[in-house]
Structure formats: C-alpha cells, structure tokens
A and B are shown apart, each in its own frame.
Chain A
C-alpha cells in the first residue's frame, strides 16, 4: 500500500512536470505534410464578421495548403502592447493589422519583414493604393506593409443634421473656417438640455494626438523637426491650434474615449471629428448625419487631415508562414475584396470606382457618407511623422491636450512643458 501511495505521488509529480513542460511548447504547428497555419489579427471589431466570411472562402480555396485563423486584437494602444508581448513570447500572429504610425517601432525591433521581394516575385501591382499609404509604410527604401484603410478613412467633421435644423444653424460647407465652427458649436451647445455643440474625448491615446495634429497643420505648424529629433509644436501655430482645441471644449461634451462613438450616436452632440470607420456604426443607430471637411483656419487656408492608414504587416516567422501570409495578404488587399468589405459602411482602402465594382456602388447608395468622406479629404491628406519612438512622443501630445481640456494648464504652458517631454520621448531619453 505504501509503495502504491509513493508511486502515485511520483506519477502525479511526473505528470505535472510533463504538463508544465507542455505549457512551454510552441503552439504553432507546421508539419511538412499538413497545411501552413497562419493567424491574421484585426482590431476593427465591426469588420470582423465580414472578414471571417472571406477568410473562410480563402481557406476553402487553399484547402490542404494554407489555413488562416482570424483573431481579434483589442483596439487603440492596447493592440501594440499585445503584439509586443506576443512577439516576445513567440506567439504573434503571422499577419497583423496595426496603426500605421507603429510600423517604424515594429520595424526597428526586427519584428516585421519587408514585402518588396514578395511583390517582385509575384508581380504584384501597387496601383490603386493612395500614394500616402505607400509612403507611410516605406522605411529605409523598403515597403513594410499594405494599407487596410487609408486615404478615405481619415478625419472629417461628422454632424447631426437634426440638431443643426433644430437650432437653425446652416450646415457646414466645404469652405467653412475655424471661426464659423466655433460660432456654430456655441449656438448648438445647450448643456442644460444635454445637447452639445461638439464632442471631445480624453485619454492618452493615439486618437487624441491625431486630432490635435489636424489643428496644428491647418494653423501652419509642424509636429517635429525634419529629422524627427525635436518637437516643433511649441510654436505660434501650435498655440493657435491648442487654443482652438481649448475654445471648442467650452461648447463640448467631454467624454472618455470608450464613450466617444456612443455619445455621437445618442443624438445629443451636433459635431464630432470622426472617421470613415465610424460610418457603419453611426448609420446603424438611425442617426441623420452628414460629413463635412475639416474647417480651414482662414477662408483660403489648408484643410489637412491626418492620413493615418492602418497596415497589414507580416511578422517574422518561418519562410513558409511568411509566404503563406503574403499569399493571404494579396487576397485581402485585392480591389474586389475592398469593394466587398465596404458593404457595412466601411470606406474601401483602395482607389476603386462605383462603376467598376457593383458592391461599392451599393455601399455608396446605402451610405452616402462614404462618398462625402472621400470628397472631404481629396487632396488634403498628410502623414504624421514616422520614427521608432513615435508612440512615446504621441503619448506626450495626448497628455498635453488632456491637461488643457481639464483646465490644468494654459495652452502656452502646456506647449512648453510637453514639447520638452516629447523631444525627450522622441530620442528615447525619457526611458531609464
């Protein structure tokens, strides 16, 4: 009996050790006989069901050769955090969608592979991509990814037509200015009735920074110097931009990032600086809304919007998996799929015309805002600067905006303080 107990205990310990050893083994399987398994991670939750449909079609067409598993990444900054952890643990998806501004950081860590050789081998055409999208993913003369939503999916002013009509305020026009926007926001702001002129959100997120860039650029300012080593936004233009943000906040509903979409959908907000990714969700809420370009500071001023494409990036894995990821990426980036994926109101990520693709024509008919969004941004797309410590620098910009929105500091003081911190962050100097 005693021997039996001891043997049982030993067996238990051995099985536990075996279990723990099993925990450490890699999850990826690529036996020579079976299909090459890859994972594709997207962070756009609204696109997930449609993507799953097309992933299934791809898997069917490549049965026995390639199998793609679709995975959902959290949105915002969390997706970079998750990806970095996965890369370190060796469990990263082989193809992953990320904010374009994070590409240099991933490239500098050796986490992703350039796609030039794949393009050359498969004679893949880059025609149809917006030039900014190609430029945004080019580092050291190499292309590191393809855009999943580029040119037409950038910031514009989304406005609630009913509130404009209720308070007899004319709709924004293609020529409107900052002064007009402020005046409109003031007229439309009725906090006692829980109706607000504009919508602003807080948070140390990329969304807060990107929105500030548009004001800065249209005031004639720059975010960084040409070598991306020093913050350049502590300037007269920066002051005008941050003052505008601060002035707008007086007539705004200020919400947390996670409540941003819901706040506009509730119908209590007249204007919001939003993007094409919101069209499907906003339309589902039966909101009567339209899209206008960003206002210019002066009547003949610029109307830059942030061309912040998100990219599909191939992470470093085995040659077979990298090749399989490229095969899937070509399928994913085809104009036909872009047209099909616009079915739920997502603006397509390729320059496609309604006459070429009936699916896109149907989207434009169902969601006229997609066409308005594309028109609002024609010729006014600008890329944020691109460098490895971008995300740390961007965090300082978001904190600066937050400090002004919370009335903790004046725009002038905030610019001076956070420009210094942004410079340190850009050079990696804030790291211990």
Chain B
C-alpha cells in the first residue's frame, strides 16, 4: 500500500522537475526575443518616461529634473492641440475609407470562380511593401498642381486644378488619399483571411433559409468577421495615429502647419529643436491616448464582437 504512494510522489517530483526544466528551456529559447524587445522597446519607453520629466541637454548629456512641467507645457500649447486635432482628422479621414474599401475588395476577391485573384491580391498588396519614401515621392509628383497626373485626370472631367500640396485645405486630403492607397492592401489580406475562416455550412444554411446575398453578408458574414474587423480597426488606428513618413516627405508639416500631426510635432521638438524632454512628454501623451483608445475598443468589442465557440455571456462553450 505504501509503495504506490511513494511511486506517485516520485512521479510528482519528476513531473515538477520536468516542468521546471521545460520552463527553463522555454525561457532560454525566448531570451533572444525578450532581449531584443527589452533593448528596442521597454528600455526606450522607460528612457522616454525619464526624459519627459527632465529638461535634457543632449549635447552635454545632462538633464535637469522638472517634474511634470513638460506635460503641463504640452497641455497649454496650442500647437499640441492643433496637432492632436490634425491627427484625429487624418485618422477619421483615412481609417474608415481604408477599411470599407479593404472589406469590399476582400469580398469581391473571395467570390468563387473568380480568375486572377492572386494577381489582384499581389497588385493591391504591393503598395504596402513598397518603400514608403519612394512611393510618397511619386505621389508628390502626381499631386503637382500644374503638371501632376491627378489634376490632369480631373481636368478631363472639367474640374479645375487643385493646389493639393500648396494650400491648407488640400494638403491633408492629399496625404489621406495616399495613405488609403498604401493601407488598403494590408487590411484586405487580413479580411480575406477572416473570410476564409467563416464556416461554409453557416452560409449554406442561410442560403437554404432563403437569405439573399446582401442579407447573407450583413446578417452572417459581417458578424462572424467582427474579430477580424476589430483587429483591423485597432491596427489601422494605431498606424494612422503614428503617420510620419508621408507628412515628412510630402509636406514637411505644412503648408502653414496644416499637416503638422502629433508624430511630426514630436520629431520637430525632439530632433529639430532638440527639446528632448518636451518631445518625450509628447510621445508619452500619444502613447497614453493610443492605449486608452485601444482599451475602449477592446471593452466595446466584448459587447459587439462575437467569437466563434463563445456563448453570449462571453464564456467559452
């Protein structure tokens, strides 16, 4: 009677040791990624937080502790609020259109029997993998008031030339148009993956029940795509809130600060005027705003996003 207990105890000890060993190996294998993450993400974030509490002289490598002064300066700065509202303009101008277009294209390319799907996919995804600086330079040329292709095409329809990049009203729409072009491919591929995961039997059941294509899309496909849509929305908002290259190359924040979005403002303060502490404070504020936005969306998703295999109260079935 004793022997089995002893055996069980020994087994238990072996199991625990085995677990520990496996965990140790897991940590060792994870360590390269963890070191990279620490060096390039956590340490810079920590360093930024420290910098944001100082007036830092980069050349003398000296900082004076100023507490929350940089944050209060940011909040009382009209440029900060203007750059935040311009960022919001860019986010709400580009993200909904990008997502709607991407979803539409994904649904179109998902049709059975459609030939050349892969070619369309590749063409639409290409802007995402192109050099953003190179692509922006081409767009800049396309937006030229007098000799640009875009005004040339608009001219065929009797639309007078638009001063895209040299007016305060034209510059941001130009950047939004370019960003939509650059972002649709990525979102479309994610949506296609989401569409591929929708069970055929559910769609067939809807068809048998007499649902039209439109009803089938809005009542079956769209709800089942909700987790994918949530992911695309969050990623797109985060990316859009951090827009920089298009602004730097196409308008340099102008004309008259009409495209001076928050990340460009951070760059100006930190790397043009060398107000490292103030620039860091702005970066931390952006981080907090993005974090809050993401948290709000995640909370809302509990109510509106349906995960397959989940019962209505959120528990796994």
Contact = CB atoms under 8 A, between A and B. Distances in A.
Interaction A to B: yes
Interface of A: 2, 5-6, 9-10, 12-13, 16-17, 20, 77, 80-81, 84-85, 87-88, 109-111, 194, 202-205, 253-259, 263, 266, 268, 392, 399, 402-403, 406, 408, 431-432
Given A9-B29, A20-B39, A402-B255, A88 B144 contact: no
Contacts of B59: 87-88, 109-111
A9 B24 CA distance: 11
B32 A12 contact: yes
26 contacts: A9-B25, A9-B31, A12-B32, A13-B31, A16-B35, A16-B36, A85-B271, A87-B59, A202-B254, A203-B252, A203-B255, A204-B252, A204-B253, A253-B146, A254-B166, A268-B146, A399-B256, A399-B257, A406-B167, A406-B256, A408-B256, A431-B273, A432-B69, A432-B275, A432-B277, A432-B278
Interface in B215-264: 251-257
A256 B28 contact: no
**The 3 A-B residue pairs with the shortest CB-CB distance in the complex, in nearest-first order:** A9-B28, A432-B73, A432-B278
Interface string B136-148: 0000100011110
B133 to A, nearest CB: 11
Contact of B168 (A6, A255, A406): A406
Contacts, number: 88
B58 interface: yes
Contacts of A80: 272
Contact of B273 (A17, A392, A406): A392
Interface of B: 21, 24-25, 28-29, 31-32, 35-36, 39, 55, 58-59, 69-70, 73-74, 140, 144-147, 163, 165-168, 251-257, 271-275, 277-278
A194 B275 contact: no
A390 B163 CA distance: 31
A81 B31 contact: no
A5 B28 CA distance: 10
Contacts of B146: 194, 253, 263, 266, 268
Contacts of B254: 202-204, 402
Contacts of B35: 13, 16-17, 20
Contact of B28 (A10, A81, A268): A10
Nearest to B72: A432
A275 B278 CA distance: 37
A141 B17 CA distance: 75
Nearest to A194: B146
Contacts of A110: 59
A10 B146 CA distance: 61
A255 B274 CA distance: 29
A177 B71 CA distance: 51
B317 to A, nearest CB: 38
A24 to B, nearest CB: 10
Contacts of A6: 24-25, 28
Contacts of B28: 6, 9-10, 13
A207 to B, nearest CB: 12
B237 to A, nearest CB: 28
B39 to A, nearest CB: 6
Given A17-B35, A259-B144, A432-B73, A402 B256 contact: yes
A111 B163 CA distance: 41
A339 B28 CA distance: 64
B32 A255 contact: no
Most chain-B Cβ atoms within 10 A of its Cβ — which of A17, A85, A204, A263? A204
Most chain-B Cβ atoms within 10 A of its Cβ — which of A9, A10, A109? A9
Contacts of A202: 166, 254-255
Contacts of A255: 144-145, 166
Given A6-B28, A268-B146, A81 B256 contact: no
Contact of A5 (B25, B31, B272): B25
Nearest to B281: A432
A10 B31 CA distance: 9
Contact of A81 (B36, B58, B73, B271): B271
A208 B91 CA distance: 31
A408 B163 CA distance: 15
Contacts of A431: 273, 275, 278
Contacts of B257: 399
Contact of B272 (A77, A259, A399): A77
A407 to B, nearest CB: 10
B135 to A, nearest CB: 15
A84 B256 contact: no
Contacts of B253: 204
A402 B254 CA distance: 9
A176 B51 CA distance: 56
Contacts of B165: 256
